[in-house]
Amino acid sequence: RKEVEQDPGPFNVPEGATVAFNCTYSNSASQSFFWYRQDCRKEPKLLMSVYSSGNEDGRFTAQLNRASQYISLLIRDSKLSDSATYLCVDADLFSGGYNKLIFGAGTRLAVHP
């Protein structure tokens, strides 16, 4: 089983749609998760951190479900500019510092007019 798994998509949605991605992780001790966005042929850029209580940033909502070991990203009112690949990250932090940064393979989103 992969350490972090994502549905590769692509998710093809019309503008204005609501779309949700899930990401499962295998390390039950993991504490720190992020969603990153990657445009074609570019480096990933931070979209948002994922907090235990869930967090929202404008049209984006991230949630963590520790019991089922998954994180989710909800995008409301999709824009054409949201078209990208979305990567989830298990940052595997620990009190002494940092361990591996484990990335999912990414979920591709294509928003069409």
Partner 1 sequence: DGGITQSPKYLFRKEGQNVTLSCEQNLNHDAMYWYRQDPGQGLRLIYYSQIVNDFQKGDIAEGYSVSREKKESFPLTVTSAQKNPTAFYLCASVGRTSGNTIYFGEGSWLTVV
The contact set with partner 1 (CB under 8 A) reads 32, 34, 36, 41-46, 49, 87, 89, 91, 93, 97-106
**Lookup result for tokens 């798994």:** 5
Considering the complex, state which of residue 71 and residue 87 has its C-beta at the smaller distance from partner 1: 87
Q: Kindly report the number of other CB atoms within 10 A of residue 9's CB atom.
A: 15
Please state, in angstroms and rounded to a whole number, the distance separating the CA atoms of residues 30 and 57: 23
Q: How far is the CB of 77 from partner 1 (least distance, A)?
A: 26
Q: Look up residue 88 and give its two tokens.
A: 């989830």
**Lookup result for tokens 């824009």:** 79
Considering the complex, state which of residue 48 and residue 111 has its C-beta at the smaller distance from partner 1: 48
Q: How far is the CB of 46 from partner 1 (least distance, A)?
A: 6
Amino acid at 87: L
Q: How far is the CB of 8 from partner 1 (least distance, A)?
A: 9
Considering the complex, state which of residue 17 and residue 110 has its C-beta at the smaller distance from partner 1: 110
Count CA atoms within 13 Å of residue 83 on its CB side: 11
